[in-house]
Amino acid sequence: MLDSLSMSGYFQPMNTLNIEKRAQIIGCLVEGNSLHATSRMTGIARNTVSKLLVDVGAACSAYQDETLHGLNCKRIQVDEIWSFCGCKEKNVPAERKGEYGIGDVYTWTALCADTKIVPSWLVGRRDAEYAKIFIADLESRLNNRVQLTSDGHKAYLEAVEGAFASEVDFAMLVKLFGEAKGGAHRYSPADCSGTITKVISGKPDTKHISTSFVERQNLTMRMSMRRFTRLTNAFSKKVENLEAAVALHFMYYNFGRVHKTLRVTPAMEAGMARHVWSLEEIAALAQVEAPKKRGPYKKRIKND
């Protein structure tokens, strides 16, 4: 049975948490722990952990939206990663079919093949509308002509043409898949039997038509965010929480985590930062209001 001292931590409001405790919570989240696991590890209430995630996630999104501009990238790879909110698409109630924020949700990501920085991402549907928003945002952050590679998703065709016009070397890499080996087809990935390269515009270097780096980023996302782990109950219940988790992940990935092959962070390699950000610096992006003093007690008068 918990004593009064251990119970006190579980009811500690976020505006009383010091920067070290907030950094500890963020550190747990960006290393792939769930809200419940983070609550148990830090002794902070789950609702407080969730509130901190949303607040810091919003601050991380705003900071990167303002900072990641004028990038001198040369090769960009884009992809989409699947997740779901509330329930899987096949289990969405009939009355909520087509409602945004329940069922399948995709995260569009762009990655620089040289600096490994993720300059743009978008949480939403996997359709032409979101493709246009995503590619237009990506184009606004680049400082020069790039070689762009995507998978065979047709929504990219119109989106890239609308955002870049002819000022891009764009190619698609279409993978051909066969049947999965073994009896457990449900849990086994299909075999890639080959690829087809399609040059869409410009003169892309065929040696660099690849989506390998951005697909590896998909694995990093699934390992670093508990809500992206397959076959668990850690999926997002609200799309707003998913957006916050993704923004926090990319803030830590871009600014706070040293890339193994670069020996620096992607933001440092891209010239967007001069040092490795600490968890305390990331936590400080969110302004936490001081606790408000309670007003005088007012006794309720019952009417006869």
Sheet containing strand 192-201, edge to edge, reads 120-124, 103-112, 75-85, 147-150, 169-177, 192-201
Task: Using the predicted structure, report yes or no on whether residue 283 has a pLDDT greater than 70.
Answer: yes
Count of alpha carbons within 13 Å of 232, Cβ hemisphere only? 15
Those residues with Cβ within 8 angstroms of residue 249's Cβ, 6 or more apart along the chain or in another chain: 30, 221, 224, 225
The model's pTM is 0.86
Mean pLDDT of 200-222: 95
Task: Using the predicted structure, report yes or no on whether residue 12 has a pLDDT greater than 70.
Answer: no
Judge contact between 191 and 176, C-beta under 8 A: no
CA gap 285, 190 in Å, rounded = 42
Task: Using the predicted structure, report yes or no on whether residue 3 has a pLDDT greater than 70.
Answer: no
Cα four-point dihedral sign 38, 42, 46, 50: negative
41-75 pLDDT, tens digit per residue, is 999 999 999 999 999 999 999 999 999 999 999 99
What is the per-residue pLDDT for 181? Answer: 58
157-186 pLDDT, tens digit per residue, is 999 999 999 999 999 998 877 665 555 555
What is the per-residue pLDDT for 48? Answer: 96
Looking at domain 4-181+188-283, its CATH superfamily turns out to be Ribonuclease H-like superfamily/Ribonuclease H (3.30.420.10)
Task: Using the predicted structure, report yes or no on whether residue 77 has a pLDDT greater than 80.
Answer: yes
In whole angstroms, how far apart are CA 166 and each of 6, 157, 199, 203, 206?
62, 12, 13, 11, 18
Count of alpha carbons within 13 Å of 170, Cβ hemisphere only? 21
CA gap 125, 80 in Å, rounded = 10
User: What ranges do the domains of the chain cover?
Assistant: 4-181+188-283
Scan for tokens 């419940």, then name that residue: 36
Res. 6 pLDDT band, cuts 50 70 90 = very low
* DSSP tally for the chain: helices H, then strands E: 10, 6
Task: Using the predicted structure, report yes or no on whether residue 113 has a pLDDT greater than 90.
Answer: yes
What is the per-residue pLDDT for 297? Answer: 58
Res. 296 pLDDT band, cuts 50 70 90 = low
CA gap 106, 104 in Å, rounded = 7
What is the per-residue pLDDT for 230? Answer: 85
Long-range contacts of 92-100 (CB under 8 A, 24+ apart): 100/124, 100/125, 100/239
Q: What is the dihedral of CA 215, 220, 226, 229, to 10 degrees?
A: 40
Tell me if residue 95 falls in helix, strand or coil.
helix
